[in-house]
Amino acid sequence: AQKVTQAQTEISVVEKEDVTLDCVYETRDTTYYLFWYKQPPSGELVFLIRRNSFDEQNEISGRYSWNFQKSTSSFNFTITASQVVDSAVYFCALSEADDYKLSFGAGTTVTVRA
Amino acid sequence: DAGVTQSPTHLIKTRGQQVTLRCSPISGHKSVSWYQQVLGQGPQFIFQYYEKEERGRGNFPDRFSARQFPNYSSELNVNALLLGDSALYLCASSLRAGAYNEQFFGPGTRLTVL
Per-residue pLDDT of chain B (114 residues; tens, 9 = 90+): 689 999 999 999 999 999 999 999 999 999 999 999 999 999 999 999 999 999 999 999 999 999 999 999 999 999 999 999 999 999 999 998 887 888 999 999 999 999
Between the alpha carbon of residue B20 and those of residues B3, B59, B66, the distances in Å are 20, 19, 9
Q: Which residues of A touch B107 (CB under 8 A)?
A: 42-44
CB–CB contact B98 A98 (8 Å): yes
Please say whether the beta carbons of B92 and B103 come within 8 A.
Answer: yes
- For residues A113 and B2, give the distance between their C-alpha atoms in angstroms, rounded to a whole number: 33
* Pairing between β-strand B87-94 and β-strand B104-105 as defined by DSSP bridges: antiparallel
Element of type H or E holding B100 = none
- For residues A99 and A11, give the distance between their C-alpha atoms in angstroms, rounded to a whole number: 32
DSSP label of B4: -
Please tell me the predicted confidence (pLDDT) of residue A37: 96
Q: What is the pLDDT of residues B52-83, one digit of tens each?
A: 999 999 999 999 999 999 999 999 999 999 99
3 state SS of B2: coil
Please tell me the predicted confidence (pLDDT) of residue B1: 63
Q: What is the pLDDT of residues A8-36, one digit of tens each?
A: 999 999 999 999 999 999 999 999 999 99
Between the alpha carbon of residue B23 and those of residues A83, B60, B95, the distances in Å are 33, 19, 15
A82–chain B nearest CA distance, Å: 23
Of A52, A93, A101, the CB nearest to B58: A101
A83–chain B nearest CA distance, Å: 23
Please say whether the beta carbons of B96 and B104 come within 8 A.
Answer: no
- For residues B43 and B104, give the distance between their C-alpha atoms in angstroms, rounded to a whole number: 14
Q: Which residues of A touch B110 (CB under 8 A)?
A: 43
Please tell me the predicted confidence (pLDDT) of residue A57: 82
Q: Which residues of A touch B92 (CB under 8 A)?
A: 45
Q: Which residues of chain A are modeled with pLDDT < 70? A: none
- For residues B1 and B93, give the distance between their C-alpha atoms in angstroms, rounded to a whole number: 14
